[in-house]
Structure 1
Amino acid sequence: MPKVLLTTLNAKYIHLNLAIRILYDLNKDNGNADLHMHEFTIKNDPKEVAAYCVDYDVVCFSCYIWNITQTLAVAREIKALNPNTKVLLGGPEVSYEWEPVIAEDAVDYIIAGEGEIPFEHFVRQYPYVSLVPNLIYKEEGQIHYNKQSVQFDVKLLEDRNPYQYDTAEELNNKVCYIETSRGCPYKCEFCLASLDNKVRYLPMQTIKDNLLYLMQRGRTIKFLDRTFNIKKDFTLDLFQFILDHHRPGNVFQFEITADIVHPDIIAFIQEKVPPGLFRFEIGIQTVNQQSNLEVSRKQNFTKTSGVVQSLQNKIEMHLDLIVGLPLEYMADLKYSFEETFKLYPPELQLGFLKFLKGTPVREKYEQYDYVFDPEPPYQIIRSRFLSEEELHKVTLLENALEIYWNKKRACNALKHITAHYSIFDFLMGVGERFVEKHAFHKHTLKQVYEVIRDYIQELYPQDTVLAELLALDYYTFYKVKPQDIFELEADKAERFKVIESFGLNHHKYRFAVLPVHFDTTIYIQDGAIQPKLDYLIIQFDGQEKGEVLCADLQYL
């Protein structure tokens, strides 16, 4: 009986791979193979991973765009240690344009496409694999592909729990992935999901049983459905199930299409869902309708914006944009970015177009004069619409967006910029200034604020409110009163006068007192700038980030 290992290299330690768990659960008792399962991360030393794998007869890797390079490195190490160990690859990254991969001496087999049916045949028939559907293999120096049209019936997952082999501690410390359906009704040409347009739902009771299992043991549960909200009744049913059974600490993440969210779903969320329980990932990608049509994508940005705004008091939003789509020049990208940024999502991801194997945008790249990196992640280098220099500038903007907005370090200042200037130009300028002085991945928090402070002083010297709002961001990001790098704090005598006049406990807390030119109470309550000579008072207890005290001394 062959000893077979199902494994993968996850992007991070906190991730779990659902695919290998499903394959393990379906095949562990078939009696034809001694099946095992183990996970690594892309940061593990390939030699150490290979040393774990070499005692198996067959090692099966789940391959994705983020791990294929490291997976092949491990495969080569396995062959160096034990040439008799066979290596099988599966997953989206090897299901298309697989010829260079199977040509690798370290790769013996590839399963193309959905893996359940081929893998079952493989473990039952091994080592006689010539009849395994969709298996690519080598025999006597020749490469064979047993291409067949097979599709797994997801109803066969009824009453199966792929997470029953994990400890409660492991589930609690990692992101748990769950699927309720496969396929996507949309045909966006940059996405692999567009290749499977038939949406297939798992049995509802199995979904609920597994969801309950994860809720009781895990914390963060992420749904893998490409468009979770296709069916209103299905969505509401699972939302209600979550509300009935979730426990403190649970967070649920969904990928939704915002412009088709039914009004009943919005009403349900507003009426029943507590803030912070749900997170929605929304792929806006572009506001440019010509670009959308060019990649067979449909989107009504007006409706999307309305849904985002109507739910932002309850749902944490993660919005995505793609840089480099056809027909989107720099001015179009700027418009898309600024219109999306005005929604003030807690996280805005600016991703660059990737030419994934199997996608239509990769197949017709020459039509738009695209040049992209031939190595994973196959990212755009230039096109007819954006030059290399322009794309480089956008990468600097992306870094600034991550440092100052997504990490919540300058939200007040950036909202002010958005209301009065160009947030696109500002972030690009800050990004350029930052890289002149520091590495994006190696800097101090003080340097983060010094760069944006100096940039604001240089470009907007007359905008005193902007400088004061940045100071607000700065002081409220620290748990301990930081150095006065803005030189805005009141002097010692004035500070103590303010502290005493409000009866603040200066024995228990430390305070920053900044004279400002806007009504702090109105701003903290409503986000509106009302001109007024006022004091911004931030209290520090050393445990939590600085808290703003308004004139009436209520915490806000």
Structure 2
Amino acid sequence: MKNIILTTLNARYSHTSLGLRYLIANLKELKEQAEILEFVINSSVQTIAEQILEKKPKIIGIAVYIWNAFDVGELVKVIKKVSPNTMVILGGPEVSYTPLRVNFDMADYIICGEGEVSFYNLCKELLEGNCTQSRVINSPKVDFEKIALPYDDYTDFDIKNRHIYVENARGCPFECEFCLSSIETKMRYLDIDIFLEQIEKLWIRGARSFKFIDRTFNIKISYAKAILNYFLAKKEDYFLHFEVIPDNFPEELRDLIKQFKEGCLQLEVGIQTLNLDVAKEIRRNLKIDKIKDNLRFLSQETHAHMHIDLIIGLPSESIESFGKNLNQLYTLSTGEIQVGILKKLSGTTLDRHDKIYGMVYNDSPPYDILQNDLISFSQMQEMKRFARFWDIVYNSGNFQKTTALLFEDGKVFENFYDLSKWLYKRSESTYKISLDRMAEFLFEYMSKNHDKELIANTILEDVMKVGGRKIPPFLKKIIPETYDFAQKDVSKANKRQQLRSN
């Protein structure tokens, strides 16, 4: 039995909540009375409530994010109906800024902002029975170097089975209007020696998969160098994920990144748009020449795997402008291009564009854009399906040679836009499409403009590049069963698929 249960619903089983571990690490004398229970979105809300209430807690703290907000709202209702005397405290980015667009009225307390200190103070008062705090607590920013660090609160099970999330800095120096990180433009850093001591403790315990949540890992070069040098000194395999800005890769940083082996380093590169006029509208600083040069460097001279972000629906950006961005990025990088849909998060200043550009958003999570003055609702729906099919076909890595053939004329956006509309009409779905089924769809579509035998052999090479797969039945009708397919780079393909799954 525990007096305090800290919980959240993660997006995937492999994820862990760094925020919950910060809270439990800072509970001081109350820590022995607390326990973390983590769940996954789309699980049964009643089952989650049952497992939490089995502990008979007096206090339940729930971390709320955009991906779990609706489920948390339902969870709070169930808990308060079944156990009305249990105190429910909400925190996290989804409840830290108004307006709240999910009904959390049944929650007893909401902590807005960084909760490491405020959560402890509230729990202490509640357990002592003399709480005088208001329902909504506006928590000030904590002293990053004085709070207890959370890394000892990763369990051995976490280390063996899940990603370990870490942070060396809070804040972001930029003011991009679609991002909550832009609210705090002053950077706060943890002393680099203290941080690396914590990483070393995790390493000794067996941690090998680290995801850094710092928004701009490469903004402070001295810290970035220290962290990269730390891992380069390790002889065992590991996986690192960093969010980086695309225009700050000086030679001293390049020299280090080039030393990482394949499969070790993944970079999330925030581009969002290459249109300077659009970037100016959303207060995003773009240095196009540096971006192009750095993307070429990362693609051609390193083994880093890249996730490059582009957004559909930004104020003043048309579909044609987005298409030009995609065509250009395809020529600059071999990495995944993450096609995202614009979301209007509470706390950002994005709403200042609503009247000017006719921006209309979904009122429910994930608060995605429905239409604007340049992109109609039906076109936005097409683009959302485009993004989904892009993930299945291009970003999955399952059809690298096939897509290269599809894009051989350089019209990446135009050709895939046509394909995505055809795929939706053909399949009437964007989900639950097997690899073999998608391969057959691609053959059917591309056979209109390409030699059938060429398409069949290209798709076969893609499908069979990972060991253990069988030739799709439809291809056996086209390619003789005696076809001798030499599996090339199977180990490399397996590594690539494993990396993409992260």
What's the TM-score, normalizing by structure 2? 0.89
Structure 1 residue 485: Cα displacement: 3.7
Query: For residues 233 and 103 of structure 1, do their structure 2 counterparts lie closer, same or farther at Cα, with a shift above 3 Å needed?
Result: closer
From 207, 230, 234, the counterpart of 1:241: 230
Describe the shift of the 1:332–1:99 C-alpha distance in structure 2 as closer, same or farther (beyond 3 A).
Answer: closer
Retained in 1: the 8 A contact 2:266–2:304?
A: yes
Q: Which moved more, 1:415-424 or 1:364-373?
A: 415-424
Q: Distance in 2 between matches of 1:389 and 1:210?
A: 50
Q: Which residue of 1 aligns with 2:144?
A: 154
Q: Which residue of 1 aligns with 2:260?
A: 273
Cα 1:545–1:202 change in 2 (3 A) is closer
The 1:83/1:453 distance shift into structure 2, 3 A limit, reads same
Give the C-alpha shift of residue 429 in structure 1. 2.0
Is the contact made by 1:46 and 1:70 (CA closer than 8 Å) also made in structure 2?
A: yes
Separation in 1, partners of 2:326, 2:435:
26
Aligned length, in residue pairs: 486
Shift of 1:50: 1.4
Give the distance between the partners of 2:475 and 2:141, measured in 1 at CA: 62
Kindly indicate whether residue 280 of structure 2 is the aligned counterpart of residue 293 of structure 1. Answer: yes
Distance 1:11 1:483, change over 3 A: closer
Note the alpha carbon deviations across 1:419-469, whole angstroms, 9 max, x for none: 3141212222222222223232223322111111111111x1469756643
Superposed displacement of residue 365, structure 1: 2.3
Report deviation, 1:415.
2.1
Answer yes or no: is the 8 Å Cα contact 2:59–2:123 preserved in 1.
Answer: no
- The one-letter code matched in structure 1 to 2:68 is N
Q: SS of the residue aligned with 1:229?
A: coil
Cα 1:428–1:187 change in 2 (3 A) is same
Secondary structure of the corresponding residue to residue 332 of structure 2: coil
TM-fit CA distance, 1:174: 0.4
Query: What is the CA–CA distance in structure 1 between the aligned matches of 2:488 and 2:274, rounded to whole Å?
Result: 42
Q: Look up the SS of the partner of 1:72 in the other structure.
A: helix
Q: Which amino acid in 2 is paired with 1:224?
A: I
Please state if 1:309 is matched with 2:310.
no
Structure-2 separation of matches of 1:155 and 1:197: 18
In the alignment, what sits opposite 1:62?
A: 63
Aligned AA for 2:392? I
Higher relative contact order (CA 8 A, sep 6+): 2
Cα 1:348–1:71 change in 2 (3 A) is: same
Which whole-Å CA distance do the structure 2 matches of 1:490 and 1:357 have between them? 55
Deviation at 1:167, TM superposition (A): 3.0
Aligned position for 2:191: 203
Corresponding position of 2:248? 260
TM superposition shift of 1:206: 2.2
SS in 1 for 2:486: strand
Q: Is the 8 A contact 2:16 2:158 kept in 1?
A: no
Determine the structure 2 residue equivalent to 1:5.
5
Cα distance in structure 1, aligned partners of 2:104 and 2:42:
25
Gap change, CA 1:491 and 1:186, over 3 Å in 2: closer
The structure with the larger Rg is 1
Shift of 1:242: 1.2
Q: Cα deviation per residue 1:111-161 (whole Å; 9 max; x = unaligned)?
A: 011112321321232244435xxxx51xxxxxxx5547x22110114xx45
- SS of the residue 2:74 aligns to: helix
- Which AA in structure 2 matches 1:451? F
Asked whether the 8 Å contact 1:102–1:108 carries over to 2, the reply is: no
Contact 1:187 1:197 (8 Å CA) reproduced: yes
Residue 458 of structure 2 corresponds to 469
Partners of 2:490 and 2:176 in 1: how far apart?
A: 49
Q: Note the residue ranges of structure 1 that are not aligned, 5 or more in a row.
A: 138-144, 496-511, 514-536, 547-556
Greater shift after overlay, 328-337 or 395-404? 395-404
Following superposition, the deviation at residue 99 of structure 1 comes to 5.7
Q: CA deviation at 1:323?
A: 0.5
Query: In 2 relative to 1, CA 151–448 (structure 1 residues): closer, same or farther, beyond 3 Å?
Result: same
The 2-side partners of 1:128 and 1:339 are apart by 61
Aligned AA for 2:303? K
Contact 1:22–1:162 under 8 Å retained in 2: yes
Q: Give the C-alpha shift of residue 340 in structure 1.
A: 1.2
Match of 1:554 in 2: none
* 1:444 corresponds to 2:464: no
Give the residue type in structure 1 aligned to 2:22: I
Could you list the per-position Cα deviations for residues 358-400 of structure 1 after superposition, in whole angstroms to 9, with x for gaps in the alignment? 1111354233211110001100000012111211221222122
Counterpart code for 2:336: E
SS at match of 2:285: coil
Residue 164 of structure 1 and its aligned partner are, at CA, apart by: 2.0
Matching residue's letter, 2:64: C
Q: Separation in 2 of the partners of 1:263 and 1:17? A: 35
1:212 aligns with 2:211: no
Cα displacement string for residues 153-192 of structure 1 (whole angstroms, at most 9, x for unaligned residues): 10114xx452323332321210110000000000000000
**Correspondence 1:482-501 to 2 at 5 A:** 482-483=471-472, 485-486=474-475
Tell me, in whole angstroms, the C-alpha distance in 2 between the residues paired with 1:223 and 1:453.
Answer: 40
Q: Which runs of 5+ in 2 are unaligned?
A: 495-502
- Partners in 2 of 1:388 and 1:118 — Cα distance? 43
CA displacement 1:275-307 (0-9 Å, x = unmatched): 321110001111111111100001223322321
Q: 2:413 aligns with which of 414, 419, 424?
A: 424
Q: Which residue does the alignment assign to 1:186? A: 174
Aligned residue for 2:343, secondary structure, equals coil
Residue 232 of structure 1 corresponds to which residue in structure 2?
A: 221
Matches within 5 A, 1:290-369: 290-312=277-299, 313-369=302-358
**Per-residue Cα deviation, 1:11-58 (whole angstroms, up to 9, x for no partner):** 111111011111101114258x93332212223311122123332111
Find the counterpart in structure 2 of residue 109 from structure 1.
109
1:50-84 CA-partner distances (Å, limit 9, x unpaired) = 12333211111011001111111111111121111
> What is the CA distance between 1:477 and its match in structure 2?
4.9
Deviation of residue 332 (structure 1)?
0.2
Query: Within the alignment, does 1:41 sit opposite 2:40 as a pair?
Result: yes
Tell me by how many angstroms 1:482 deviates: 0.9
The corresponding residue for 2:14 is 14
Instruction: Give the equivalent residue in structure 2 for 1:499.
Output: none
CA RMSD of aligned residues (A): 2.8
